[in-house]
Amino acid sequence: MTTATALPLDEPRASLAIWTGFALMCIALFMSVLDVQIVLTALPTMQRGLHIGEDAMSWIQTSYLTAEVISIPLSGLLTRALSLRGCLVLAVAGFTLASAACGFSDGFAMLIVARTVQGLFGGVIIPCVFSAVFLLFGPRDEPLATGLAGVMAMLAPTLGPWLGGWLTVHAGWPWLFFINLVPGIVAVAGMIRLLPREAGDPALLRRLDQAGLILLALAMTGIEIGLKEAPLAGWTAPHTLVPGTVGLIALGGFVWRCLRAAAPLVDPLALADWRVALGTGCNAVLGATLYGSTYLMVLFLGLVRGLDALAIGQTVILTGAAQLVTAPVAVWAEKRVPALPYCLAGFALFGLGCWTDTWLTPDSGFAALFWPQVLRGAALMVCILGTTRLALGHLAQDAVANASGLFNLARNLGGALGIALIDSLLYGQTPQRVTAIIAALKHGDVVVAAALHLPIDDFQAMHDLPLDADTKALLQPLITHLALSQSINMVWAVLAAACVIPVVACAVPLLRKPAQPAT
């Protein structure tokens, strides 16, 4: 007979000052998570305002995600070296100052630099806040603290697209960043006053693997530049080949360094556990498909449908709303279904949500976009909970920290590289599709003419005649929008296919060991 271990009734509870300081941490957490999504709906507006090409605007998103990939592994060392209070005050202050620099940017280069710095500090905030749950609270207060941080982490991406659209339309895109200033200043001042003053150990900073950090930064930057340059320059052009090769070599060097260094940024030995490896790999796919699908939806609504930022936000928020509504069911099911089939079901549903968007046309409106977004939103919490439990749920407490670092790193890594790959596919395919549509029109293809809403009788009578300047000006945007929507449909199919990878990967252990599910 077993009995549940009761929590001691005389265990000291966290003070009001600790709870207030933690609430300010959660505000900072909300800001850092919000800034991943808040800019998405404004990307077409920012692209026009900054006078940059459509293929360059994703740098505004990927620079932040890439910087987070670099800084997330540093959070544990910085917490021990500077103390929790010192680390969070530094991170939130840096994030706030970088937000101001983003808002005051008068050019694309300045914005990308400021956005990168913002991501470097933002990447430290998220793991530090979740570490604070265990450092500041006892077992009786931990569930409430975890719930508060979890709600903030979930609410931010839900509200981000709509809030970003509203601010862009009513105040201008710089306010996507200025909105962080007052909460950031309040959070810094409050944490300085309220959080426990504990001594850090700055000497630990000497253990920072600087070579590994440089290699990781070179790897991420080189691979992304290669993927971005490929559509315009070609895969074998020096502009693509040189940075891409440098990035891949640096990535190999980073892995080698992690295996050999005494204190590596991340310890890949945690991946020797097949469940950690599988869960972390699934999380990388989740990052690519989650951030990629939202980015792709914004491109369709902004560049094909021509909607403003607010209308884009009002459409894209459906995914977050579906996630929020279905979260209680996902949590209930997660406690009753083994990790492998649970994770498999989540990715199958997310993949279905991507596949149902592969038939979009330039005329597809809210009704056509509703159910695919609901499917992806309902699947999202299942994927998050499933991958987390699969990778971390079976580990001893002293092994969680290292595996958790790898796990969180994988999602942002997948997101940054996924968006870069989407750009490469999208802007590499669209010019070819434009050429194919023009050729089809010249050959009298009635199906293509109907897709462009051309009067069929007039088209059949005039398709082989030279076009005047007014007709060319009328047809050009129609052809571009049709070609872009076809390319977007192709990328939706790629995202759906990517979801098949974790589905198959989770199915293999189930088929081999049906009696030993992961828990």
Q: Within this chain, do residues 128 and 235 fall inside the same structural domain, yes or no?
A: no
Supply the DSSP symbol for 13: P
How far apart CA 407 and CA 424 sit, in angstroms, is: 26
- In terms of pTM, does the model score above 0.85? yes
How far apart CA 221 and CA 244 sit, in angstroms, is: 9
Query: Nearest 10 degrees: CA dihedral of 180, 420, 161, 124?
Result: -30
CATH at 329: 1.20.1250.20
Instruction: Check pLDDT > 50 for residue 4.
Output: no
pLDDT band of 5, cuts 50, 70, 90: very low
Most confident region among 86-90, 152-156, 393-397 by mean pLDDT: 86-90
The whole-angstrom distance between residue 451's C-alpha and the CA centroid of its chain comes to: 33
pLDDT tens, residue by residue, 509-519? 998 865 455 45
Residue type, 1: M
How far apart CA 444 and CA 456 sit, in angstroms, is: 10
How far apart CA 180 and CA 437 sit, in angstroms, is: 45
End-to-end CA distance of the chain: 23
Give residues with Cβ within 8 angstroms of 243, minimum separation 6: 221, 222, 223, 225, 226, 229
Decide if 164 contacts 37 (C-beta within 8 A): yes
Decide if 482 contacts 437 (C-beta within 8 A): yes
Q: Within this chain, do residues 411 and 478 fall inside the same structural domain, yes or no?
A: yes
Q: Within this chain, do residues 424 and 340 fall inside the same structural domain, yes or no?
A: yes
Among 217, 244, 262, give the residue marking a domain's end: 262
Task: Check residue 8 and give left, alpha or beta (phi > 0: left; psi -120 to 50: alpha).
Answer: beta
How far apart CA 486 and CA 97 sit, in angstroms, is: 41
Q: Within this chain, do residues 251 and 275 fall inside the same structural domain, yes or no?
A: no
Q: Within this chain, do residues 352 and 420 fall inside the same structural domain, yes or no?
A: yes
CB neighbourhood size of 79 (10 A):
23
pLDDT at 2: 43
Q: Mean per-residue pLDDT for 204-233?
A: 89
pLDDT band of 392, cuts 50, 70, 90: confident
Which of 45-54, 139-148, 181-190, 306-315 has the lowest average pLDDT? 139-148
Residue type, 297: M
Residue 1 within a domain:
no
Average pLDDT score, the chain = 89
Q: Within this chain, do residues 489 and 408 fall inside the same structural domain, yes or no?
A: yes
How far apart CA 32 and CA 183 sit, in angstroms, is: 11
Give residues with Cβ within 8 angstroms of 103, minimum separation 6: 174, 175, 176, 177, 178
Give residues with Cβ within 8 angstroms of 443, minimum separation 6: 463
Residue type, 328: P
Q: Mean per-residue pLDDT for 354-358?
A: 97
Q: Within this chain, do residues 318 and 246 fall inside the same structural domain, yes or no?
A: no
How far apart CA 244 and CA 238 sit, in angstroms, is: 9
Instruction: Check pLDDT > 90 for residue 204.
Output: no
Decide if 170 contacts 45 (C-beta within 8 A): no
Instruction: Check pLDDT > 60 for residue 205.
Output: yes
pLDDT at 127: 86
Q: Within this chain, do residues 435 and 317 fall inside the same structural domain, yes or no?
A: yes
Residue 280 within a domain:
yes
Decide if 247 contacts 221 (C-beta within 8 A): yes
Residue 222 within a domain:
yes
pLDDT at 11: 62
Residue 3 within a domain:
no
Q: Within this chain, do residues 235 and 333 fall inside the same structural domain, yes or no?
A: no
How many structural domains does the chain have? 3
Instruction: Check pLDDT > 90 for residue 9.
Output: no
Q: Which domain holds residue 167?
A: 14-196
How far apart CA 390 and CA 340 sit, in angstroms, is: 7
pLDDT tens, residue by residue, 451-482? 998 888 877 777 677 767 777 788 899 999 99
Top pLDDT among 321 and 9 is at 321
pLDDT at 477: 92
Decide if 287 contacts 418 (C-beta within 8 A): yes
Most confident region among 135-139, 147-151, 184-188, 221-225 by mean pLDDT: 184-188
Residue 9 within a domain:
no
Residue with tokens 């293999």: 508
Instruction: Check pLDDT > 60 for residue 1.
Output: no
pLDDT tens, residue by residue, 71-119? 988 888 888 889 989 999 999 999 999 999 999 998 999 999 999 999 9
Residue 491 within a domain:
yes
pLDDT tens, residue by residue, 422-456? 999 999 999 999 999 999 988 889 999 999 988 88
How far apart CA 53 and CA 97 sit, in angstroms, is: 28
Residue 411 within a domain:
yes
Among 223, 244, 262, give the residue marking a domain's end: 262
How far apart CA 274 and CA 367 sit, in angstroms, is: 42
- DSSP assignment of 360-415, as one string? --TT--HHHHHHHHHHHHHHHHHHHHHHHHHHHTTS-HHHHHHHHHHHHHHHHHHH
pLDDT at 268: 85
Q: Within this chain, do residues 286 and 427 fall inside the same structural domain, yes or no?
A: yes
Decide if 475 contacts 467 (C-beta within 8 A): yes
Q: Within this chain, do residues 414 and 457 fall inside the same structural domain, yes or no?
A: yes
Residue 2 within a domain:
no
Q: Within this chain, do residues 309 and 226 fall inside the same structural domain, yes or no?
A: no
Among 170, 196, 222, give the residue marking a domain's end: 196
Q: Mean per-residue pLDDT for 356-365?
A: 95
pLDDT tens, residue by residue, 220-275? 999 999 988 887 777 888 989 999 999 999 999 999 999 888 888 888 888 999 99
How far apart CA 438 and CA 280 sit, in angstroms, is: 45
| Cβ burial, residue 419 (10 Å; 0-12/13-18/19+) | buried
